[in-house]
Amino acid sequence: MTVDNLGSRILTLVTRLSGLNEPAPAPASTLDRAATRAAYRQALRRWFELTAQGSSADWAEVNQVHQQILRLIDDVGEPRATALRREWAREWRQETGLCPYCGERGPCHDPEQGGGLA
């Protein structure tokens, strides 16, 4: 190995190691968080609508919305995603009179509360 090759390898190693000390990326901007939250709300409302349709719902859309909600939960983060879902489920129930979890008229059944009223 020549001195030039050794110097080049050391420079490459130092460059790689220096990247380890870089600051972590900044958290998402407020605008990004607001857009993510709005997308999550929209997806949940669509889920509530599909739930109300029952067996007549388009199962391809049900699956697509379900996958979208799972991604958005990751983006929003827990426990915030659950708190938002519960808030929006209550809003849905007040606006429509339908339970967002079973799609029927009547009380709102929160599965995390043993199916009890939310």
Burial letters for 30-59: b for 16+ Cβ neighbours within 10 Å, e otherwise? eeeeeebbebbbebbbbbbbbbbeeeebee
Averaged pLDDT of the chain: 81
- Residue of 8 and 92 predicted with greater confidence: 92
63: pLDDT strictly greater than 90: yes
- Residue of 107 and 7 predicted with greater confidence: 107
118: pLDDT strictly greater than 70: no
What are the distances in angstroms from CA 90 to CA 35, 59, 60, 101?
21, 25, 26, 11
Q: Tokens for 62, please give them.
A: 């049900």
